Amino acid sequence: MMPRHGRGWAMGRAQGQEDRHSPVIGSLLEPALLILVKGAPSHGYSLLSDLGKMGFSTIHPSVIYRTLRGMEDLGWIQSDWVTDQTQGPPRRTYHLTEKGEEALQFWKQELSRTNAIILQLLAKEESD
Amino acid sequence: MMPRHGRGWAMGRAQGQEDRHSPVIGSLLEPALLILVKGAPSHGYSLLSDLGKMGFSTIHPSVIYRTLRGMEDLGWIQSDWVTDQTQGPPRRTYHLTEKGEEALQFWKQELSRTNAIILQLLAKEESD
DNA sequence: TTGTCTATTGACATTAATAGAATAGTATGC
DNA sequence: GCATACTATTCTATTAATGTCAATAGACAA
């Protein structure tokens, strides 16, 4: 049986499971949420679809909600319940805090660094 | 107490723990090993230092050995014991298999995709 | 024989990911 | 007034991955 995430991801893909994301995508969820919430305060369900458009479509909703709660525990974002202007039950709407802005700065550096490493890896593979 | 990996990584950094890698780095270990082993058959201890030079310096040796064994279980690489030309105990030297080459092709696509997502995220943050 | 470098493995506790179901409000058609 | 679909969030059980530490052991030089 296939591991459900992480190790050996590329194996599952080869066997026709296109709908499972790689571990890299999962690891980018946190900075992606910070950036989206910084852009405009938002709630889980809306972030879910924003992320979908950005290439995070395979991440399970519960993972996104759980991550948001975790980030709130860390003090990076804060939530308020919004009951009006909703087409359904109340929304928990998150906004970025100063602490979250700080964390985002670290993440930005890390994203650049990651970019460099990936380019290096691709270049090395090309040269073989 | 700080989470030891993943969630909330950027927090630890802010408190002066520069020596802990982000979850992204960990998730790139597998493709990095595939590419290095494809370049030239090699053993764990040597890959450890190659990875260090590439920006994976904070990954614990046992994680690298464990990942290599996992990749061998998946049939992506194969190992032989080499006893001569060593400056210490025997080395388990890995080489890439055809299956590993296939996995690497999927990973290459994913690395490009990841690159695109990261650039998109950084661009979005700039525009805020 | 002590220490240092090379080299690999195993075990334990912690943390994260996944699927699935439960809960619930709103809106629309019939 | 009832079924259905969409919006919106939470919880739980299971499984996988990660981090850390310790153990093992050969080679070589002081």
Nearest chain B Cα distance for residue A114, angstroms: 7
| Sequence letter at residue A65 | Y
User: Percentage of chain B with pLDDT > 90?
Assistant: 76
Q: In order along chain A (128 residues), what is the average pLDDT of each group of 10 residues?
A: 60 62 91 96 95 90 94 94 88 96 94 96 93
| Sequence letter at residue A58 | T
Per-residue pLDDT, A6: 65
The residue that leads in pLDDT, B72 or A12, is: B72
Interfacial B residues in 62-121 facing A (CB < 8 Å): 67, 70-71, 74, 76, 102-104, 106-108, 110-121
B28 and A124 within 8 Å at the Cβ level: the answer is: no
Statement: B21-126 belongs to CATH 1.10.10.10:
yes
Q: How many CB atoms lie within 10 A of CB B109?
A: 12
Per-residue pLDDT, B5: 55
The reply to whether A95 has its C-beta less than 7 Å from any atom of strand C is no
Domain residues of chain A, as ranges? Answer: 24-121
Q: Is B32 exposed, middle or buried (0-12, 13-18, 19+ CB in 10 A)?
A: buried
Compute the average pLDDT of residues B75-94: 93
Least CA distance to B12: which residue of chain A?
Answer: A103
| The model's pTM | 0.91
Which among B11, B25, B108 has the least Cβ separation from residue A103?
Answer: B11
Confidence of residue B128 (pLDDT cuts 50, 70, 90): confident
Residue B19 contacts residue B36 (beta carbons within 8 Å): no
Q: Is B28 helix (H, G, I), strand (E, B) or coil?
A: coil
Candidates 1.20.1740.10, 1.10.10.10, 1.10.287.3510, 1.25.40.10; CATH matching A24-121: 1.10.10.10
